[in-house]
Amino acid sequence: MDGGAPYNPRTVEEVFRDFKGRRAGLIKALTTDVEEFYQQCDPEKENLCLYGFPSEQWEVNLPAEEVPPELPEPALGINFARDGMQEKDWLSLVAVHSDVWLLSVAFYFGARFGFDKTDRKRLFNMINDLPTIFEVVTGTAKKQRSSEPQIKSTKAVQSKDEDEEGLDEEDEEEHGETLCGACGENYASDEFWICCDICEKWFHGKCVKITPARAEHIKQYKCPSCSNKRIRP
Whether 171 has a pLDDT exceeding 60, the answer reads: no
Q: What angle do CA 126, 25, 103 make, to 5 degrees?
A: 40
Amino acid symbol at 29: A
Where b means 16+ CB within 10 Å and e means fewer, 16-28 reads: bebbbbbbbbbbb
Whether 175 has a pLDDT exceeding 60, the answer reads: no
Contact in structure between 90 and 81 (CB atoms under 8 Å): yes
User: Is the peptide bond between 54 and the residue preceding it cis, with omega within 30 degrees of 0?
Assistant: no
Contact in structure between 27 and 102 (CB atoms under 8 Å): no
pLDDT, averaged across the chain:
81
In this prediction, residue 147 carries a pLDDT of: 37
Contact in structure between 71 and 108 (CB atoms under 8 Å): yes
d(CA 22, CA 98): 10
d(CA 45, CA 224): 26
- pLDDT tens digits along 72-116: 999 999 999 999 999 999 999 999 999 999 999 999 999 999 999
Query: Mean pLDDT lowest for which of 41-50, 53-62, 150-159?
Result: 150-159
In this prediction, residue 5 carries a pLDDT of: 46
- pLDDT tens digits along 133-164: 999 999 886 543 333 443 433 444 544 444 44
Of the two residues 109 and 231, the one the predictor is more confident about is 109
Question: pTM higher than 0.75 for the full model?
Answer: no
DSSP 90-120: HHHHHHHHHHHHHHHHHHHHHHHTT--HHHH
Q: Which residues have a Cβ under 8 Å from the Cβ of 162 and sit 6 or more positions away? A: none
Whether 16 has a pLDDT exceeding 60, the answer reads: yes
